[in-house]
Structure 1
Amino acid sequence: MVAAQKSMTQSAMTQSAMFQAIYQGKIDAVQSVIDSGVDINMRYQVEGKRGGVTPLMMAVAYLSTPEMIQFLIDSGAEVDAHCDKQSTALIYCLGIGSKFFKTLLPVAPGSTRTDAELDRAKYEIVKVLLKNGADVNWARHESDHSDPANRMVRPRDRTDGTTPLAWYLRRGHTMGRRDWICTPEMVQLLIAHGADVKVSTSPERETPLMFAVDQGPEMVQLLLDAGAKIEAKCRYGEMTALNHAADGKNETSLRSAKLLLANGAEINHLSKAGYPLTQACISGNTSMVELLMEHGADVNPSGGFTPLMGAARGSQVELIEWLLKEGADPNAVNRNGWTALMEAAQLENADGEIIAMLIEAGAKVNARCAEGKTALMCALMWAPPATIRQLLDLGADVRMKDEDGSTALMLAAEESSVEVVAMLIEAGAKVDATNAEGKSALMWAAKFACPAAVRLLLDQGADVRMKDKAGSTVLMIAAQGYSEESRVEVVAMLVEAGAKVNARGAEGKTALMCAAMESMPGVVRQLLDLGADAQLKDKAGKWAIDYAWDNFALSGSPVLQQLKTAF
């Protein structure tokens, strides 16, 4: 044990000596450490964990001088050694932005350098690494490297992964122009040394060209000239470079889009995010919309997320008005059967002006999506009560059912405010309508333990003794769940309204058995206080207490003793 601790201490001292020498940028100090027998390819550890970072990677991370980098390589540093995350020194260097360098390494030598100076330092280091044979197409594969199966394939043998070029452009894409701008000179340098512009990242399969649109047309042109495929699609969302550009909101993305279009980019490519025009409409980028329309973007593409739907989702009032004037079809549907009105109605900040505009333009207020839901049903989850009222006033049918047989009232009983439930009943919703499972709005309100909704439905004559197709009563449904305080209140309310506390379901179970299986002590206690019979058995011959033993929520509860003493 003592020997092991001594070894760990010596290792830490060795690491510290090498680290300090590199940190200070003193080649003679590094030479002294090497002369003492330290392995130039040693791996740094943090808190006893192997991180796999070598002295060369450390020197690169601190943007040491090219002379230091060359010295380390001449001293035997492996230029393509990689850490546990498959990053090489080249990838380390290309992933450093000025914000990272100045914020996280404020006391590092040279940390007062300007962004331009830092970019130049990176460039010079990359030149040294490439001159010494750094693999420009090493694929940093982002997977679980602790899995032996992933370690069996060498990164340089993969057909996908994050190469140095993709990593450089990707960092600029994800960190933003506030951190650093990828320079054309660096990209030219990588391409000149054989960087593959077609390789895609993993697992998203995004290409360097997709990342480059954020950096402007000069970068895009460099990649196109080098053979980048303009119509390549990423796995996530099936987006092309033009789709990525259309998502942008700045002048840089606009100029990149112009160049892509000039080089034949497919303007009506349908990705999972929609068409390029749709994406521009979501963000309200009018300049991008105008550009795409000038190049022939279809205002009524078929089978996908249309521009009008995008503008509705983005609450873009002026764009919606403009698209309608251009002939956009307010009743066009996407792959799921959704319309622009459904998109507008389901928003938490749903805009009444947009809803009115769409219906005035001919949008069918009672159109159904593939699941049978109407705009009114779509609105119930997030939209404010004012939107529900507006849809009702504009002709929404409150009695329509979706493919599961659910009505707007059933959906409101589990999702919405009591104000909305009252609004729907006032508009003519049938209180005891049932869905395909035989469940009523009262059952849904009871299931989600909504006392106010339960009270309102009971006051409106909801049948408290109704059973669903599985034979469960409203009380049985209310007895299962973990919202203790509100569930206790609902149980009492239902019994007071006439629910039979010992009524049985299809398997002979009672509400007490249901509560014993999956509820809280307060619910079980409430049922016992209301006359639930603990001595009843179901068809399997089990008492409520038999189910209670397996309910962790009742463990150690006095309720167990109450159930025992019932015998």
Structure 2
Amino acid sequence: MSKPTAVIRRLAFILPFILLCAACVQLQPLAPSNQPHQPDQSQTNTTELTMELTLDLIAAAEQGDIETVQSLLAQGAAVDAANSRGVTPLIAAAYRNQLAVAKVLIDAGADVNVQDRTQQSAYLISTADGYLALLKLTLANGADVHSLDSYNGTGLIRAADRGHVEIIAELLQTDIDIDHVNRLGWTALLEAVILGDGGPRHTEVVRLLVDAGADINLADSNGVTPLDHARQRGYEAMVTILENH
């Protein structure tokens, strides 16, 4: 037998074994890695930078620092980003009545209707705290007068219980629900009487509401009307207004 022929026969004999071994190697599963998954460092850095910009913007807005607010916005800080309490830069500015900063933020696209975790918005804060200029600013930029606070109350109810005459007058020029009932079972008129002090400001609030068509017969959950409450408290000026309508 020639040498080439012998070699060929040997190869023919061992070739199946070679192919079988190769297949086994290919099918062998990869050993599981004991190394924990490593997060993308660039993504982590970006997230940290974004949060840092957000917190800095909120702090600057609260302090009324217009230059810093503008600088942070130019660096890419998100105008409606919020902290862990849901407070946005605009809400932070509203709490401190930082009107100039609020204007800058709104011009940059801030949403006046965003609410934090306590259901406060720039608009609702202005109604409760008596910030008339801020209220007008939010109304001019799409404030939703039908938005509700944590007591299911409108801005009108919030202003009524605090005796904010100018806020009441401004809100009555909108299509706000004058007889909306909150979670306590009270309307703006009831709150002005029940939570008011019977003094000139709350009395004027009662007059404004009644003149605007508030239902004087809409009682609380116990069936007590605004007039009954006024009489019980000895608020004679309110009694006179309610009796004459």
- Superposition deviation, residue 483 in structure 1: 7.0
1:556 alignment counterpart = none
User: Deviation string for 1:71-94 (max 9, x for gaps)?
Assistant: xxxxxxxxxxxxxxxxxxxxxxxx
2:237 alignment counterpart = 526
2:62 alignment counterpart = 346
- Superposition deviation, residue 361 in structure 1: 1.2
**Secondary structure of the residue that 1:443 maps to in structure 2?**
helix
Q: TM-score, normalised by structure 2?
A: 0.73
Of Structure 1 and Structure 2, which has the larger fraction of its residues in helix?
2
* Equivalent residue for 1:510, pick from 190, 204, 225: 225
Sequence identity percentage: 26
Q: Aligned runs of 1:90-169 on 2, under 5 Å?
A: none
CA distance in structure 1 between the aligned counterparts of 2:204 and 2:138, rounded to whole angstroms? 24
- Decide whether the 8 Å contact of 1:330 with 1:341 is kept in 2: no
Q: Aligned runs of 1:321-336 on 2, under 5 Å?
A: 329=49, 331-332=51-52
Bigger relative CO (Cα 8 Å, ≥ 6 apart): 2
- 5+ residue gaps, structure 2, are 1-47
* Equivalent residue for 2:177, pick from 449, 463, 470: 463
Aligned length: 197
- Superposition deviation, residue 406 in structure 1: 3.0
1:485 alignment counterpart = 200
CA distance in structure 2 between the aligned counterparts of 1:365 and 1:483, rounded to whole angstroms? 42
- Decide whether the 8 Å contact of 1:381 with 1:416 is kept in 2: no
CA distance in structure 1 between the aligned counterparts of 2:237 and 2:186, rounded to whole angstroms? 19
- Superposition deviation, residue 436 in structure 1: 3.3
CA distance in structure 2 between the aligned counterparts of 1:463 and 1:485, rounded to whole angstroms? 24
1:228 alignment counterpart = none
Q: Aligned runs of 1:288-437 on 2, under 5 Å?
A: 329=49, 331-332=51-52, 339-347=55-63, 350-437=64-151
Cα RMSD after superposing both structures: 2.4
Query: Larger Cα Rg: Structure 1 or Structure 2?
Result: 2
- Decide whether the 8 Å contact of 1:495 with 1:501 is kept in 2: yes
- Decide whether the 8 Å contact of 2:230 with 2:239 is kept in 1: no
CA distance in structure 2 between the aligned counterparts of 1:525 and 1:407, rounded to whole angstroms? 36
Q: TM-score, normalised by structure 1?
A: 0.33
CA distance in structure 1 between the aligned counterparts of 2:174 and 2:101, rounded to whole angstroms? 23
Aligned AA for 2:62? Q
1:489 to 1:329, Cα distance in 2 relative to 1, 3 A? same
1:284 alignment counterpart = none
Aligned AA for 1:339? L
CA distance in structure 1 between the aligned counterparts of 2:144 and 2:98, rounded to whole angstroms? 22
- Superposition deviation, residue 332 in structure 1: 2.5
- Superposition deviation, residue 502 in structure 1: 2.6
Q: Aligned runs of 1:213-362 on 2, under 5 Å?
A: 329=49, 331-332=51-52, 339-347=55-63, 350-362=64-76
- 5+ residue gaps, structure 1, are 1-327, 534-567
Aligned AA for 1:374? T
- Decide whether the 8 Å contact of 2:192 with 2:202 is kept in 1: yes
